[in-house]
Amino acid sequence: MAVGCAGRFRGAARRRAAALLLAFGVLTAALAGCGGSPHHQPAAAGTATDAGVRALLDQRAAAVLHHDQAAFLAGVDPRATRFAAAQKAVFGNLAQVPLAAWSYRLVRTGAFPLPPAADGSPRTAAEVRLSYRLAGYDTEPVVSTAYLTLSRRSGHWYVAADDDGAVSGHPSAVQLWDQGPVKVVRGTHSLVLGLGSQAVLRGYASDADVAVPQVRHAWGSGWPGTVVVEAPQSLDQMAALLGAAPAAYRNIAAVTTGELGGARNAPADRVIINPAAFSGLSAFGRQVVLTHETTHVATRTATTANTPLWLSEGIADWVAYRDSGRTAPEIAPELTKDVTSGHPPTALPTKTSFTPTSPTLAQAYEGGWLACRMIADQWSPEKLTAFYRAVAKSTSLDATLRATLGVSLPTFTTRWRAYVESELS
């Protein structure tokens, strides 16, 4: 999973959201069928290992969709007692999740070396794609990768573990239901899946329900107009969902996951909350965070590797602060300090400026916001969104600026520098 940029908090009133995560791993797998033949049918001589494994995976997928715990656990190695207990807990944790689809696709067996089981039974490591959709919210699946240890006993394939791959650099993706019983709160425009109290989850849904119409007003249509929020209970759990070190997200209130690009059938997005940071925000700060992240959900299909971070982060902040009534110095205090001390920015924020350890991280966000605000003010909001969409389709920022705004990149930068000084002086 690739990690985009993130905002460092600079005060309780205006703590920043994270940027756009670029992928959920390999996110192009189609949904596989869920009605395969039972895994316990003995394999005939010469039958490929993969056929038996696919049958096992199909049975487990059907068991999840049909809420059949016995069938789900029947696919677990009877000698893997600890793993069986963990799988029983995971199955229970999924009980309230509104699934429209759930399937596994076998990518390969023999993903990494495994010795035989202690009793000499053969084992193989399978790389598997899990695809699932939430009923009423996901038009396309979320896709993640798992590495499963499979054992074969008396002609039957079983799942024996899902953590052996971590030792060899093949960790399985962590899902919210791996961390505890998932509670569900449905909002008008949102769905919140979380591990905390219902009251806290309702607060997330309320903020998301305010964010969606704001984003729709600013960005327009062409996106689902809903947002799915995942809310773990700790920073460590959030980091595990993202496959990252907790320190990287300590001061990040939320991140958005999804696959960048123009494909309409790209996998579904998720906004993932860091409860430790989010709980310290003011009501205004919480709303800014979720509106910022919801903007990333809306703009994701119009965001590509060609989109500079100052633009993708800037437009998310522009939408979040657009109707806030706050002044530019209130929203951009770090750049204000730089300008009033005689050190205004000389260039648009770079990709490096948006790294979590950058000493000018706050200024990068503020500079991107002011660039987008300038386009909306000096041209129009419609020109801003048209420019954003055009950048995704072009490899030349200068050419896109000339075609959509009628200025070169050097001229735009000069105007932005003057705008920053004028607004923050």
pTM: 0.86
pLDDT at 364 > cutoff 70: yes
Q: Boundaries of CATH 3.10.450.50 in the chain?
A: 49-172
pLDDT at position 103: 98
Element containing residue 130 per DSSP (H, E):
strand 123-134
Query: Tokens 């960048």 appear where?
Result: 260
pLDDT, tens digit, 9 for 90 and up, residues 398-422: 999 999 999 999 999 999 999 999 9
Tokens (6 digits) for 29: 């797998």
Closest CA to 127 of 53, 69, 227: 53
Look at the domain 1-24+180-305 and name its fold.
Zincin-like (3.30.2010)
Helical packing angle, 381-392 and 361-378, nearest 10°: 120
Q: Which residues contact 151 (CB under 8 A, 6 or more apart)?
A: 77, 79, 80, 117, 121, 122, 123, 157, 158, 160
pLDDT at position 139: 87
pLDDT at position 44: 32
Highest-scoring range by mean pLDDT, 9-18, 111-120, 257-266, 410-419: 410-419
pLDDT at 25 > cutoff 70: no
pLDDT at position 167: 85
pLDDT at 43 > cutoff 50: no
Please give the CATH architecture assigned to the domain spanning 49-172: Roll (3.10)
pLDDT at 5 > cutoff 70: no
Closest CA to 186 of 267, 97, 271: 97
pLDDT at position 227: 96
pLDDT at position 29: 23
pLDDT, tens digit, 9 for 90 and up, residues 133-183: 999 999 889 999 999 999 999 889 999 999 999 988 999 999 999 999 999
Q: Which of 35-49, 159-173, 366-380 has the lowest mean pLDDT?
A: 35-49
Highest-scoring range by mean pLDDT, 14-23, 356-365, 370-379: 370-379
pLDDT, tens digit, 9 for 90 and up, residues 75-130: 999 999 999 999 999 999 999 999 999 999 999 999 999 998 888 999 999 999 99
Q: Boundaries of CATH 3.30.2010.30 in the chain?
A: 1-24+180-305
| pLDDT level of residue 263 (50, 70, 90 thresholds) | low
Residue 159's alpha-carbon distances to 125, 193, 393, in angstroms, are 10, 27, 44
| pLDDT level of residue 279 (50, 70, 90 thresholds) | very high
